[in-house]
Amino acid sequence: MMNDAARKPYRVLIVDDDRDLVRALIVRVSTSGFDASAVHDGRAAISTARATLPDAIVLDLRMPGMSGFDVLGELRGDETTARIPVLVLSANIAERARAMALDLGATSYMLKPFHANTLIASLTAIIDAGAQK
């Protein structure tokens, strides 16, 4: 997945407190042509997002300390990070969690367990849509 202008891969920040899942996601996302990096809590997610301005963020909701909802709120409240596409990847099946995440500015919501192809397709779609704006 190459950025045409810079000929550099898109950078994806993965935020999840489950380190096993993060390892799997890094393999999956990297081998699909993205430049993947990861952090394991909400605080680090916000500081890394501000510092590196990734092309997309994959965000878990239930994390100790700062939840994914809080992260979304802060990202969207800050002009520098407000436009970064965020794909929420959560095990929370409740419709209200989806609605809340979308209301807070999530670009897309995907349930765990997910299918790898669907994840990569979704990630590509939100980055493309973001690039067109």
Partner 1 sequence: MSEFGLRRAPSPRKKHVTRALETRQPFKDEATGSSGPEAESLKPESRSVRTTARSKVTDMDIRTPLKILYVEDNKGDYVLVREHIREYFGSECLLEWAANGPDAIEAIRTSEYDLFLVDYQLAGTSGLDWVREAVVSAAGSPWILLTGSIQPDVDLQALEAGAADYLSKDELSASLLARSIRYSLMRQRNLVAERTLNEVLERSNAELKRLYRTAHQFVDNVSHEFRTPLTVINEFASILSDELVGPLNTEQKNFANTIMNRVEDLSVMVDDMLDMSKIEAGMLSVTRRKASARSIVDKIIHTLDRKAKSSGVTLDIDIPQSLPDVFCDPENIGRVIMNLVVNACKFSSEGGCVKLWAENKPGSSEVRIGVSDNGRGISADHIEGIFDRFNQGDGEQGALRQGFGLGLNIARELVKANFGLISVESRPGKGSTFAFTLPVMEPLSIGRKFLEFVPQLSPHSGLVCLIRVLDPGSGEATAQMERGLYAQLRQSDVVLPLPSGGWVICAALVEQKDAEAIVARLRAVLRGLVSAQEGDKSSVECIGVAALDRNPEDFLELLDDEIRKRATQDSPALALALA
**Residue 114 binds to partner 1 (criterion: CB under 8 A):** yes
3-state secondary structure of 92: coil
* Residue 100 token pair: 């809340």
Sheet holding 35-39, edge to edge: 35-39, 11-15, 56-59, 86-90, 108-111
- Please tell me the distance from the alpha carbon of residue 74 to that of residue 129, in angstroms, as a whole number: 22
Which of 33, 53, 82, 112 touches partner 1 (CB under 8 A)? 112
Is 18 a residue that touches partner 1 (CB under 8 A)?
yes
Decide: is 133 part of the binding site for partner 1 (CB under 8 A). no
Q: How far is the CB of 20 from partner 1 (least distance, A)?
A: 5
Positions in the binding site for partner 1 (CB under 8 A): 18, 20-21, 24-25, 27-28, 31, 62, 91-96, 111-118
